């Protein structure tokens, strides 16, 4: 099985300004088919007021990670190891009561599909007011006032009357705005947005993304933005974490990772996407094969069965040894820094035109 070369936790950055620090997080589900290693040794930091983008495909562990931060996983079938430190407080071992105080208050979440993520049985206003009343002790009247204010802020027309509407009476974009209002109602320090625009149309997506950015300026919240869409992340994030098979394979600032990617998986993602100004006479460059099973992940580097560069690494290290992810700007790959750079410039960059 996987050979671990030192825990990543020791090497990962411990900036004093990190608001959220995740260290060597391991999340396992027991299912009928066996143990699913949803997250396998993940470390990252989120700074105050900054946006961390987490990009990955389905099954990469990006959503699970963030449910775990808030303790929203099913404790009976899930084991969580490692550390999650939010503003100096350990969350993995925290009691349910303490987590309840944080959720919706210090840390809020936005989910992908606002139709299923909002309860059909209660008015939008009630659902937004609930966390405000709970966490601030505000009266019903104050909460309603605050709710209307928030609805106006996120661009719901006629908030005075729409506050009493039910989610099904809102359009898709409006529902996601209401969801954002609900997340921001207690002025959280950290906002976790899990594919918040994936279910929306492209013009509505553009509105919502800009709205999130502008609101972040005003509220000063840090954001963890989870998506599968590199284009969206390019626009939204300061820092970027690329996940594959429950692990981080590349980390850095958005600029560094997207303009000078160092991991073959990131190369694959970038060169498989057509661009609006790209050369249509060239075929796309897909990543061969399929994402790995989490029940029985590949040994060594989880990407090696799909990787085109394993020949350049000597001694079968790709299939035998898990590459570590160093601190700061780094990629978890056995290629040498020099190999990464020349491969990117010679083989990958020309395809991105």
Partner 1 sequence: MSDNLTLPAQQGSKDTAAETLLKVEGLTKHFPIYGGFPIKRKVGAVQAVDGIDLTVGVGESVGLVGESGCGKSTTGRLITRLMEPTDGKITYKGQDISHASRKQLAPVRSEIQMIFQDPYSSLNPRQTVGTIIKSPMEVNGIKPEGGRENKVRELLELVGLNPEHYNRFPHEFSGGQRQRIGVARALALNPKLIVADEPVSALDVSIQAQVVNLLQKVQDELGIAFLFIAHDLAIVRHFSKRVAVMYLGKIVEVADRDSLYNRPRHPYTHALLSAVPEVAIDDEIEVKERIRLAGDVPSPISPPSGCRFRTRCWKAQDKCASEEPPLIQLSGNLDGHLTACHFPEDPTTEARGEDVVLDPALKALEDSAADEAGATVTKG
Partner 2 sequence: MLQFLIRRLIGAVVIMFLIGAFTFFLFYTIPQDFAQLSCGKNCSPENIAVIRENLGLDKPITTQFWEFMSGIVVGRDFAVGHCSAPCLGVSFNSGEFVWDSIVDSFPLTLSLTIGGLIIFLVFGLGTGLLAAWKRGTAVDKAVSGASMVLSSFQIYFLGPIVVGIFVFSTGWMESPKYVPFTEDPAGWFMGLLIPWAVMATIFTAQYTRMARSTMIEQLSEEHVRTARAKGMKQRYVFFRYAWRGSLIPIVTIIGMDLSALLSGAVVTEFTFDLAGLGRLAVESSQGKDIPATMGVMLFGAFFILMLNIIVDIAYAYIDPRVRLS
Contact residues for partner 2 (CB under 8 A)? Answer: 70, 72, 76, 96, 100-105, 108-109, 111, 113, 116-122, 130-131, 134-135, 166, 168-169, 182
Rounded distance between C-alpha atoms, residue 96 and residue 99, angstroms: 5
Rounded distance between C-alpha atoms, residue 99 and residue 213, angstroms: 27
Which one of the spans 103-111, 128-136, 287-295, 320-328 is the region binding partner 1 (CB under 8 A)?
287-295
Rounded distance between C-alpha atoms, residue 264 and residue 197, angstroms: 27
Residue with tokens 């808030």: 70
Cα-to-chain-centroid distance, residue 275: 23
CA-nearest of 81, 4, 15, 78 to 44 is 15
- Give me the DSSP letters along 157-215: SSHHHHTTS-GGGS-HHHHHHHHHHHHHTT--SEEEEESTTTTS-HHHHHHHHHHHHHH
Indicate the length of the chain as a whole number: 353
Q: Is 136 in the site for partner 1 (CB under 8 A)?
A: no
Rounded distance between C-alpha atoms, residue 275 and residue 286, angstroms: 14
Taking the least distance from each CB to partner 1, the nearer of 154 and 332 is 154
Taking the least distance from each CB to partner 2, the nearer of 200 and 240 is 200
With CB under 5 to 8 Å by kind, the binding choice for 234 among partner 1, partner 2, none is partner 1
Least distance CB 202 / partner 1 (angstroms): 5
Q: Is 277 in the site for partner 1 (CB under 8 A)?
A: yes
Taking CB under 8 A as the criterion, the residue among 119, 160, 272, 319 binding partner 1 is: 272
Q: Give yes or no for a contact between 29 and 215, defined as CB atoms under 8 angstroms apart.
A: no
Q: Would you state the structure tokens that stand for residue 290, as one six-digit string?
A: 């399929």
Binding residues for partner 1, total number by CB under 8 A: 59
Least distance CB 241 / partner 2 (angstroms): 21
CA-nearest of 20, 24, 30 to 5 is 24
Taking CB under 8 A as the criterion, the residue among 173, 188, 302, 323 binding partner 1 is: 173
Q: Is 280 in the site for partner 1 (CB under 8 A)?
A: yes
Segment 211 to 270, residues that bind partner 1, using CB under 8 A: 211, 214-215, 217-218, 228-232, 234-235, 255, 258-259, 268-270
Least distance CB 322 / partner 1 (angstroms): 21
Least distance CB 71 / partner 1 (angstroms): 28
Least distance CB 82 / partner 2 (angstroms): 21
Q: Is 210 in the site for partner 1 (CB under 8 A)?
A: yes
């Amino acid at each position: 099985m996987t050979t671990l070369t030192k825990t990543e936790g020791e090497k990962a950055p411990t900036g004093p300004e990190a608001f959220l620090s995740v260290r060597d997080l391991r999340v396992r589900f027991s299912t009928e088919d066996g143990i699913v290693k949803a997250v396998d040794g993940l470390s990252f930091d989120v700074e105050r007021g900054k946006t961390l983008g987490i990009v990955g495909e389905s099954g990469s562990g990006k959503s699970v990670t963030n449910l775990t931060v808030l303790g929203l996983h099913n404790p009976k079938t899930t084991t969580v190891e490692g550390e999650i430190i939010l503003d100096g407080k350990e969350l993995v071992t925290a009691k349910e009561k303490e987590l309840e105080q944080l959720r919706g208050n210090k840390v809020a979440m936005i989910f992908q599909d606002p139709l299923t993520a909002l309860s059909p049985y209660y008015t939008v206003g009630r659902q937004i007011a609930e966390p405000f009343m709970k966490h601030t002790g505000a009266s019903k009247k104050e909460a309603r006032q605050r709710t209307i204010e928030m609805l106006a802020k996120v661009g719901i027309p006629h908030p005075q009357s729409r506050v009493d509407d039910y989610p099904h009476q809102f359009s898709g974009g409006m529902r996601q705005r209401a969801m954002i209002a609900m997340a921001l109602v207690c002025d959280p320090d950290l906002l976790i947005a899990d594919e918040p625009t994936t279910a929306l149309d492209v013009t509505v997506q553009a509105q919502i993304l800009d709205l999130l950015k502008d609101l972040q300026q005003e509220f000063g919240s840090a954001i963890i933005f989870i998506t599968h869409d590199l284009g969206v992340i390019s626009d939204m994030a300061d820092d970027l974490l690329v996940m594959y098979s429950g692990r981080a394979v590349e980390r850095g600032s958005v600029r560094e990772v997207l303009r000078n990617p160092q991991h073959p998986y990131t190369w694959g993602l970038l060169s498989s996407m057509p661009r609006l100004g790209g050369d249509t006479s060239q075929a796309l460059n897909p990543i061969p094969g399929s994402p790995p099973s989490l029940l029985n992940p590949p040994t060594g580097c989880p990407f090696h069965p799909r990787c085109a560069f394993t020949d350049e690494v000597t001694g079968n290290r790709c299939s035998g040894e898990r590459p570590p992810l160093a601190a700061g700007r780094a990629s978890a790959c056995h290629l040498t820094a020099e190999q990464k750079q020349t491969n990117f410039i010679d083989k990958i960059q020309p395809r991105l035109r």
